[in-house]
A = this chain, B = another copy of it.
Amino acid sequence: MTVRNALYAQSGGMTAVINASACGVIEAARLHPEVIGKVFAARHGTLGVLREELFDTGPIRRGELIGLRQTPGGAFGSCRFDLDDPADNPAQYDRLFAVLAAHDIGFVFLNGGNGSMQTALQVDREAAVRGYPLQVIGIPKTVDNDIVEADCCPGYGSAIKYLAASVREASIDMASMSSRRGRVFVVEVMGRNAGWLAAGCGLAADTADAPPHLIVLPEVAYDEGRFLAAVTDWVERIGWCTVVVAEGVRGTDGRPLAQAASDGKYVQLGGAGAVVSHRIQAALGFKVHCAVTDYLQRSARHLASATDDAQAWAVGAAAVGAAVAGQSGVTTAVERLSDAPYCWRVGTTPLASVANLERHLPAEFIRDDGLHVSDAFMRWARPLIAGESIPAFLDGLPRYWRHELGLEPAKLAPYSGLGRI
């Protein structure tokens, strides 16, 4: 068998454990020198491929891989840039395959979410059209947990472990205080269209009355009257309540409660928590505090889930396994074998059945009144946060890894096809 090089690229928004997937790829590839030569990592994902900005991961020592695995964010850089359709922009693919050929790349591992799976699918198909021998394997990653055909997505378990712990802690603080007025704590979490992150906060509730008391999901139209009545109920009962709000919550008219800014293709939402807080304060007169977790929830590696970390590593390593086994046009995916004990394995799914689709919270994971999660969700989600993967600390803070790799010397002329991106 001919030995060819591999290309690994990180894509889309980051997670606390995406670098564990990078580790999985690098470590598994090193076990197969008969198939895979160098493992290049693209700088800033697909942008780096087009720009021919590649790092050779070969000099990363085994010990450094520990640091890489414990570091949040994308160690090699990511981007929110998806390739065009080959029919619309063949020149983009001319460039792409020129870069792959120049570096004798026979394997592409694209570590991303729904959009990245579409890019991977296009590259896989175009390679066949062009007769370029290439195996393309997707590696799932997203805190949003919205990739279809998988039980869960690496990155999600750590995000909800952090969020549920934070909701529990802040709620204990809330419960400590005494006040003549009702008090409400609102926490806004990510989730444009799918409420997986908001739902995960439900794990904080270890009894029926425990916080969070209300979860406002994008899957359920925000009915202000019903919501405020539910807040009032809780405050009358225990004096306070904790509310989780997904950033993408929409009113009964289908419009987002708040829309901070629009950035072309990607709508950057934000402010749903502030809107809900303001409404509670104005309509009910309660004292409201609002936390917005924003990037903190997807980068809190200091409280990563050991299960999530293991799965992130495994989907990376399994991608190499799939490549070595001759597969292409597939993505690795976490499959659940059983709830209790929680058993899982990594399988593969055709990219075509995953690309650009979005997985919403199923109805059976939402409580009947639409304002919390169901027991079925709790059973499903609880194993995903099991175990604490604590990073190394130095001087009181997590010590994270930065690579010091130089870019591979370019073999092609600079690429001008990206314009101002």
Contacts and interface: CB of A to CB of B under 8 A. Distances in A.
Contacts of A204: 397
A249 to B, nearest CB: 17
A29 interface: no
Contact of A421 (B74, B180, B292, B398): B180
A250 interface: no
A228 interface: no
A298 interface: yes
How many copies of the shown chain assemble into the complex?
2
A178 B10 CA distance: 11
A170 B396 contact: no
Given A175-B73, A395-B382, A287 B299 contact: no
A388 B392 CA distance: 10
Interface residues of A, number: 78
Interface string A389-421: 010010111101000000000000000000011
Interface string A288-311: 111111111011111101010000
Interface stretch (A77-85, A95-103, A325-333): A77-85
Contacts of A164: 396-397
Contact of A173 (B14, B302, B397, B421): B14
B287 A290 contact: no
B299 A294 contact: no
Given A172-B71, A204-B397, A396-B382, A294 B289 contact: yes
A372 to B, nearest CB: 17
Contacts of A287: 261, 263, 268
Q: Helix, strand, loop or mixed for chain A's interface?
A: mixed
Contacts of A299: 169-170, 172-173
A16 B280 CA distance: 27
Considering residues A14, A169, A180, which has the most beta carbons from chain B within 10 angstroms of its beta carbon? A169
Contacts of A301: 169
B281 A261 contact: yes
A123 to B, nearest CB: 19
B289 A173 contact: no
A79 B178 contact: yes
Given A180-B421, A303-B303, A397-B161, A73 B172 contact: yes
B177 A79 contact: yes
Contacts of A386: 395-396
Interface string A372-396: 0000000000101111101001011
A194 B11 CA distance: 41
A344 to B, nearest CB: 15
6 contacts: A78-B177, A164-B397, A169-B302, A170-B296, A206-B395, A385-B396
Shortest beta-carbon contacts, A-B, top 7: A385-B396, A74-B176, A73-B172, A291-B294, A170-B295, A44-B178, A169-B299
Interface of A: 10, 13-14, 16, 44-45, 47, 71-75, 77-81, 161, 164-166, 168-170, 172-181, 185, 187, 203-204, 206, 261, 263, 268, 270, 274, 281, 287-296, 298-303, 305, 307, 382, 384-388, 390, 393, 395-398, 400, 420-421
